[in-house]
Structure 1
Amino acid sequence: MATLEFDEEGARRVERTYATPDVVAQRAQVLALLAPQPGERVLDIGSGPGYLAASLADAVGPTGTVYGLDPSPAMNAIARSRSATRPWIRIEDGDAATLPYPDSSFDAAVATQVYEYVPDMPRALAELRRVLRAGGRTLVLDTDWDSLVWHTTDRELHRRVIAAWEEHVVHPHLPCLLAGLLRRAGFTVPEQRVVVLFNPQLHAQTFSANMMELIAEFVVGRRGVTAEDAVAWLGDLRARADEGDYLFSLTRYVFLATAT
């Protein structure tokens, strides 16, 4: 198992992906569901390039505080640059399994596309519960890669590529377990929803256009996938777009929980 690591180039690629309309719309749904309020203290676990942290900071205002936590120095450099005009954002190095904050520090916390990378989920959620005040709320969003639908003519090659791609996370099917894990960690889970990333066409500003390049790069040498296989897989997807029958859909699962 070798999960994704983000050097400066990788971090910039993620930043571009997060700027696509698909992820901008996802971020808007996350903000609406978490509903951060002026003056609140909010933690963004796995804050990445800082788009969500910046939006959270705009919601809580200068009377509130947003902490962004990420293990990637390259991501944090981008996030700090993005948050430079909002001094009530603090971007810090750290990971989800050991949160460097006192008990009951936050009114709300959010973790989008984070926990599927974390090996010890009971520990990570215990830490989440510890830093939230009683009655504090959290939003967790993760992907189940079984939800992926991608039109390709070579189904066997596609199956091999996606099996290799699943090695980029520790838990490729985490959403099936999340509600139970949250309850056992001391949360109630009053609401569960889905966010669908749907691309019926392919162009540079779609989520899938960015993802296909990342996937093709990652899978080479894994599960027997060769560089030639990756090129053929990309070519098949692009041919679908050229012929007018492209389709990509991926479901992300949202869990709204309250600390008991």
Structure 2
Amino acid sequence: MAPLEFGDAAARRVERAYATPDVVAQRAQVMELLGPQQGERVLDIGSGPGYLVASVADAVGPSGAVHGLDPSAPMNTLARTRTAGRPWVHIDEGDAVALPYPDGTFDAAVSTQVYEYVADMPRALAELRRVLRPGGRALVLDTDWDSLVWHTRDRELHQQVIAAWEEHLVHPRLPRTLAGLLRRAGFEVTGQRVVVLFNPQLHAQTFSASMMELVAEFVTGRQGLTAEDAQAWLADLRARADEGDYLFSLNRYVFLATAV
């Protein structure tokens, strides 16, 4: 695994991607399924730039408490700025395998696009179970990267690029085993859903427009791919848009669980 590095510029790029209508709609579905209530204590594991933390904080109100946890200092800076003025929000530095909270602290916890990067999933989910009260709710969302559909002419180059992109992941197909992992960690799985990110056109406010730039930057120098290869891949995608046959689709899977 070669993890993505989130310096200030990368954190800002992710923040822009999370502001696209595609991810805003995803976040709305997560909020509906998680259902945070007034006065609840909620944890967001891998809170990134803090969009979801802010939404949860508004739902639980000042009688509740929300903790966002992320290992990236630049992400945490963005999250603190986004949630300023909500004293019941706390942005903490840490990671999923060693949650810095006492047993049974939270009524609910959410983690979106995090566990596919975590090597020790049994430990991470044991920690998730530990910090939830009995009967507490968990929502986990991750991607199966085999679901990625991106229309390109040069299929061989595209396959090389996506193989190199998967180097930043520990579990590129985590949703296939996540229900079993949750059950073994002490959860009852109460629901499973799919969230589809679908872009039949390419423009600046699509999720795939942000993602393609991130992919091209990451894969350069990996698996024999040069900067010229990455630019050729980008040019292929843009040409599809110019010719009116652009298409991008990606499945993200949501698991709802209750601590038993």
Residue 211 in structure 1 maps to residue 211 in structure 2? yes
RMSD over aligned CA atoms reads: 0.5
Report what 1:107 is aligned to.
107
- In the TM superposition, residue 3 of structure 1 has moved relative to its aligned partner by 1.0
Find the aligned partners of 2:39 and 2:209 in 1 and give their Cα distance: 38
SS at structure 1 position matched to 2:66: strand
Which ranges in structure 2 are unaligned for 5 or more consecutive residues?
A: none
- In the TM superposition, residue 244 of structure 1 has moved relative to its aligned partner by 0.2
Report what 2:34 is aligned to.
34
Residue 170 in structure 1 maps to residue 180 in structure 2? no
Find the aligned partners of 1:255 and 1:198 in 2 and give their Cα distance: 20
- Aligned-partner residue type, residue 243 of structure 1: E
SS at structure 2 position matched to 1:99: coil
Find the aligned partners of 1:76 and 1:29 in 2 and give their Cα distance: 23
- In the TM superposition, residue 221 of structure 1 has moved relative to its aligned partner by 1.1
- In the TM superposition, residue 5 of structure 1 has moved relative to its aligned partner by 1.4
- In the TM superposition, residue 29 of structure 1 has moved relative to its aligned partner by 0.1
- Aligned-partner residue type, residue 224 of structure 1: G
- In the TM superposition, residue 228 of structure 1 has moved relative to its aligned partner by 1.1
Find the aligned partners of 1:150 and 1:143 in 2 and give their Cα distance: 15
- TM-score (normalizing by structure 1): 0.99
Find the aligned partners of 2:229 and 2:188 in 1 and give their Cα distance: 45
Structure 1, residues 140-180: CA drift from partner, whole Å, max 9, x if none? 00001000000000111000000000011111111111000
Q: Superposition pairs for residues 64-75 of structure 1, below 5 Å?
A: 64-75=64-75
Structure 1, residues 2-42: CA drift from partner, whole Å, max 9, x if none? 11110000000000000000000000000000000000000
- Aligned-partner residue type, residue 240 of structure 2: R
Aligned residue-pair number: 260
Find the aligned partners of 1:4 and 1:217 in 2 and give their Cα distance: 10
SS at structure 1 position matched to 2:101: coil
Find the aligned partners of 1:203 and 1:168 in 2 and give their Cα distance: 25
Report what 2:81 is aligned to.
81
Find the aligned partners of 1:32 and 1:191 in 2 and give their Cα distance: 13
Find the aligned partners of 1:174 and 1:156 in 2 and give their Cα distance: 25
Report what 1:254 is aligned to.
254
Structure 1, residues 78-108: CA drift from partner, whole Å, max 9, x if none? 0001111111100010000000000000000
- Aligned-partner residue type, residue 183 of structure 1: R
Report what 2:228 is aligned to.
228
Report what 1:199 is aligned to.
199
Find the aligned partners of 2:25 and 2:155 in 1 and give their Cα distance: 30
- Aligned-partner residue type, residue 206 of structure 1: T
- TM-score (normalizing by structure 2): 0.99
SS at structure 2 position matched to 1:102: coil
SS at structure 1 position matched to 2:103: coil
Find the aligned partners of 2:116 and 2:165 in 1 and give their Cα distance: 13
Which ranges in structure 1 are unaligned for 5 or more consecutive residues?
A: none
SS at structure 1 position matched to 2:258: strand
- Aligned-partner residue type, residue 28 of structure 2: A
Find the aligned partners of 1:177 and 1:4 in 2 and give their Cα distance: 23
